[in-house]
């Protein structure tokens, strides 16, 4: 068994994330995580492990206690920390955003209400892409999570936690060998299966540099490249940009019949604008207090929306 502490840049109140269902997978029960910890398959460079995370509950001195049943080397612990930092957002420094957007009419109140919020992501960009493609056009997200779990069972490495199998997310070499027709039997459409297998094959061939996209590409480069991947259009490219370990993002115009769509439309409406009649200059003025923190700023609007929906129910 190995255990260690992963520190986060304050402020960070991870418990806010427990109210946001899309952050978690099929096997997770967020209402139990507070006491039992957050357990998930965690990819290292050469293998997958099970890691359980406990948050200390202190937004100003945030620490995560990590436990794994295996004995890890120092190098493997470092690799695990790299993955967990991506998942938990521990390396994201939002302190400048709090200062520059404090008086923003839309974002300012959310910064106060959800003080310490940082977005959660999955362990790798490929994991995020798999889930994004599987859940596209599905209104019932628990069903999408179950489909993704079945794919993990079929193609990912099988790990064990508390006597039960817990499959890792498939790596490119595992997914590249899949048959789209078999993926169809797990719930996703045949076309989605073709997208996923094709992407895995393109990663292996070097056609798609997934590490460069995740860690090095600037937001516009990321958007331009990934939106050309089969199965990932402008909307998915925009959303996937927000899960990287960067605070910045772009919101490219994506008009249909003269009206903005996707996140740009949502932002314009949040600021009282008209999605069919907002210039680029007007849009940039709306988000001027977000500069350099676009990816993290919009997460506050998203979390407010999700929590508002829960309260309505």
Range 270-288 average pLDDT: 94
The pLDDT of residue 311 is above 90: no
CA 62 – CA 116 distance, rounded (Å): 10
Residue 293's pLDDT is 98
pLDDT of amino acid 312 = 78
Q: Can you give the pLDDT at residue 141? A: 85
HEC readout, the chain: CEEEEEECCCCCCHHHHHHCHHHCCCCCCHHHHHHHCEEEEEECCCCEEEEEEEECCCCCCCEEEEEECCCCCHHHHHHHHHHHHHHHCCCCCCHHHHHHCCCCCCHHHHHHHCCCCCCCCCCCHHHHHHHHHHHCCCCCHHHHHHHHHHHHHHHCCEEEECCEEEECCCCHHHHCCCCHHHHHHCCCCHHHHHHHHHHHHHHHHCCCCHHHHHHCCCHHHHHHHHCCCCCCCHHHHHHHHCCCCCCCCCCCCCEECCEECHHHHHHHHHCCCCCCCCCHHHHHHHCHHHCCCHHHHHHHHHHHHHHHHHHHC
Domain residue extents for the chain? 2-93, 122-243
Residue 48 makes CB contacts below 8 A (sequence gap 6+) with 41, 42, 156, 157, 159, 168
Each residue's pLDDT tens digit, 83-131: 999 999 999 999 999 999 999 999 999 999 999 999 999 999 999 999 9
pLDDT tens readout for residues 151-201? 999 999 999 998 889 999 999 999 999 999 999 999 999 999 999 999 999
- pLDDT above 70 covers a percentage of the chain that reads 100
- 288 — pLDDT class (breaks 50, 70, 90): very high
How far apart, in whole angstroms, are the C-alpha atoms of residue 140 and residue 26? 13
pLDDT of residue 256: 82
CATH superfamily of 122-243: Hypothetical protein; domain 2 (1.10.340.30)
pLDDT of the residue at 6: 98
CA 143 → CA 65, 137, 148, 166, distances in Å?
Answer: 31, 12, 9, 18
pLDDT at 260: 84
Can you tell me the mean pLDDT for 200-215?
96
Q: Which pTM does this prediction carry?
A: 0.95
Q: Which of 119-133, 222-236, 250-264 has the lowest mean pLDDT?
A: 250-264
137, pLDDT greater than 90: no
* pLDDT value at 313 more than 80: no
């Amino acid at each position: 068994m190995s255990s260690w502490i992963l520190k986060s840049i304050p402020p960070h109140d991870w418990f806010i994330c427990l109210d946001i269902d899309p952050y978690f997978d099929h096997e997770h029960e967020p209402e139990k995580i507070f006491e039992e910890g957050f357990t998930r398959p965690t990819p290292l460079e050469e293998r997958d492990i099970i890691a359980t995370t406990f948050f200390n509950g202190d937004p100003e001195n945030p620490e995560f206690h990590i436990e794994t049943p295996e004995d890890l080397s120092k190098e493997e612990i470092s690799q695990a920390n790299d993955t967990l930092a991506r998942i938990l957002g521990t390396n994201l420094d939002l302190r400048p955003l709090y200062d520059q957007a404090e008086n923003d009419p839309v974002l300012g109140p959310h910064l106060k209400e959800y003080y310490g919020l940082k977005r959660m992501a999955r362990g790798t960009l490929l994991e995020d892409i798999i889930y994004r493609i599987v859940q596209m056009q599905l209104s019932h997200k628990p069903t999408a999570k179950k489909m993704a779990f079945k794919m993990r069972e079929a193609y990912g490495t099988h790990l064990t936690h508390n006597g039960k199998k817990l499959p890792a997310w498939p790596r490119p070499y595992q997914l590249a060998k899949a048959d789209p027709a078999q993926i169809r039997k797990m719930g996703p459409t045949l076309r989605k299966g073709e997208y996923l297998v094709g992407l895995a094959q393109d990663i292996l061939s070097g056609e798609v540099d997934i590490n460069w996209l995740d860690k090095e590409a600037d937001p516009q480069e990321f958007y331009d490249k990934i939106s050309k991947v089969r199965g990932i259009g402008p909307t998915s490219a925009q959303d996937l940009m927000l899960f990287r370990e960067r605070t910045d993002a772009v919101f490219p115009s994506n008009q249909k019949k003269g009206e903005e769509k996707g996140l740009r439309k949502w932002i314009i409406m949040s600021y009282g604008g008209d999605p069919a009649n907002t210039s680029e200059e007007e849009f940039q003025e709306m988000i001027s207090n977000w500069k350099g923190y676009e990816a993290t700023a919009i997460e506050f609007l998203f979390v407010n929306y999700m929590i508002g929906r829960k309260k309505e129910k």
